[in-house]
């Protein structure tokens, strides 16, 4: 990494205007919840993939470095998909080398999205150690996102997962449209469980249940988790991925924690959306998640001031305020 590419020093609290009220949130644990949660940060991938204006590669590298400096240890960096499908992430091969210093840290995980064998080859060439394939519970989204039927996309993933596992990589399996689909409406729980079990049987080491368009509600989350776990997928291999379109992401997360889930996807500053699901808005904001988890006395390892400073900085880069309620409150900005 050249001096120019190296991230700049962390801005001070005065510079970013981020202050957390002393002693808040008060820590009041609640029974039946985990003591620790691993946040799977998706801001640099899910957050940026929908941005119309191309974010320079060095800004993305700085974003990831700042997220790491804020204590996040799983940071989804980019996607090795077809560049025409997601132009914003066409610079994946330029970005990954800029993260080499982070990749050297054994405690740091930098997964990337890979849809097919071509994507896996590109990722392996860059020395990537963790990938995610991304399936759909519905035919409409499989077609829109992968140009494949559900069955064809599972057939496309099979050799990717097998080869990645042979190479010793961790493989996450995303499953989109688990709670509703913009074209098909309600998605039966049994349909989701059937595709999830296929991804699990294929060798995915973790399954992330995606509420791509943010329509889930807590009872639905519990029903799906219960069906999956009673169907043989251990809760320790499940993660949840909520978008906040209808303001349900935190309630849904709390419901999932109550069922024993300990991996939660979130996006710094609430960035996000999906280019192939127009009704998808931002992900659950990492700051909002951290505020709730810390209030519940659940460890995350995340420094909320540094994280909020990062999101405020990224919002400036994008020329748009952060949608995160916590970032707004901590920066005292009427954004
Ligand atoms: P396709 O057009 O069917 O591709 O797209 P193909 O297999 O027919 O190949 C056509 C050409 O593309 C070939 O080149 C391939 O080599 C090339 P040619 O021989 O014509 O010169 N190609 C590639 N080039 C670079 N990298 C690759 C690659 N693959 C093929 N990996 C494909 C099929 C899967 C490639 C395409 O549909 C695609 O890239 N889709 C990605 C869409 C995407 O990234 N969506 C957003 C992520 S999903 C999401 O956000 C949801 C999530 O957040 C969870 C949630 O919220 O639910 C994860
Ligand atoms: Mg998503």
Q: Sketch out the chain's domains with CATH numbers.
A: 39-284 (3.20.20.70)
How many angstroms separate the CA atoms of 27 and 29, rounded?
6
Residue 1: which pLDDT band, with cuts at 50, 70 and 90?
Answer: very low
Query: Would you say residue 44 has pLDDT above 60?
Result: yes
How many angstroms separate the CA atoms of 208 and 261, rounded?
11
pLDDT tens digit sequence for 205-258: 999 999 999 999 999 999 999 999 999 999 999 999 999 999 999 999 999 999
The whole-model pTM stands at: 0.95
Query: Would you say residue 264 has pLDDT above 60?
Result: yes
Which of 48, 50, 81, 144, when mutated, tests ligand 1's pocket best, judged by the most ligand atoms within 8 Å of its CB? 81
Q: Is 311 in the pocket of ligand 1 (CB under 6 A)?
A: no
Residue 276: which pLDDT band, with cuts at 50, 70 and 90?
Answer: confident
Question: Which ligand neighbours the alpha carbon of 136 most closely?
Answer: 1
Using only C-alpha atoms, the chain has a radius of gyration, in whole angstroms, of 19
Take residue 115 and report the two structure tokens written for it.
């849809």
Q: Which residues of 127-160 are buried (b: 16+ CB within 10 A; e: fewer)?
A: ebbbbbbbbbbbbebbbbbbebebeebbebbeeb
Q: Is 82 in the pocket of ligand 1 (CB under 6 A)?
A: yes
Residue 3: which pLDDT band, with cuts at 50, 70 and 90?
Answer: very low
Contact 269, 287 (CB under 8 A): yes
Q: Is 322 in the pocket of ligand 1 (CB under 6 A)?
A: no
Residues recognised as catalytic: 274
Cα of 214 from ligand 2 centre, angstroms = 9
Q: What does the pLDDT read at residue 284?
A: 97
Cα 119 to Cα 6, 43, 100, 122, 207, distances in angstroms = 27, 20, 19, 5, 19
């Amino acid at each position: 990494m050249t001096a120019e590419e190296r991230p700049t020093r962390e801005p001070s609290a005065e510079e970013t205007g981020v202050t957390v009220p002393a002693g808040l949130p008060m820590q009041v644990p609640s029974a039946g919840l985990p003591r620790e949660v691993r946040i799977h940060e998706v801001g640099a991938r899910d957050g940026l993939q929908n941005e119309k204006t191309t974010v320079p590669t060095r800004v993305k590298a700085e974003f990831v470095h700042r997220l790491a400096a804020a204590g996040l240890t799983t940071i989804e960096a980019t996607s090795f998909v077809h560049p025409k499908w997601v132009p914003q992430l066409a610079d994946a091969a330029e970005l990954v080398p800029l993260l080499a210093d982070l990749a050297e840290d054994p405690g740091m995980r930098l997964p990337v999205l890979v849809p097919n064998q071509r994507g896996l080859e590109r990722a392996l060439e860059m020395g990537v150690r963790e990938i995610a394939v991304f399936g759909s519970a519905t035919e409409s989204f499989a077609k829109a996102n992968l140009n494949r039927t559900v069955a064809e996309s599972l057939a496309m993933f099979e050799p990717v997962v097998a080869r990645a596992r042979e190479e010793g990589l961790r493989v996450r399996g995303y499953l989109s449209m688990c709670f509703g689909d913009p074209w098909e409406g309600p998605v039966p729980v049994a349909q989701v469980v059937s595709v999830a079990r296929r991804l699990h049987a294929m060798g995915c080491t973790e399954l992330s249940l995606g509420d791509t368009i943010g329509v889930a509600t807590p009872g639905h989350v519990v029903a799906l988790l219960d069906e999956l776990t009673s169907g043989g997928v251990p809760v320790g291999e499940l993660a949840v991925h909520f978008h906040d379109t209808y303001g349900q992401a935190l309630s849904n997360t709390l419901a999932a924690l109550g069922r024993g889930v300990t991996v939660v996807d979130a996006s710094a500053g609430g960035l996000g959306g999906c280019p192939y699901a127009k009704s998808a808005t931002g992900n659950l904001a990492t700051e909002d998640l951290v505020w709730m988890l810390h209030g519940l006395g659940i460890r995350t390892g995340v420094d909320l001031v540094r994280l909020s400073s990062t999101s405020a900085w990224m919002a400036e880069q994008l020329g748009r305020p952060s949608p995160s309620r916590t970032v707004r409150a901590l920066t005292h900005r009427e954004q």
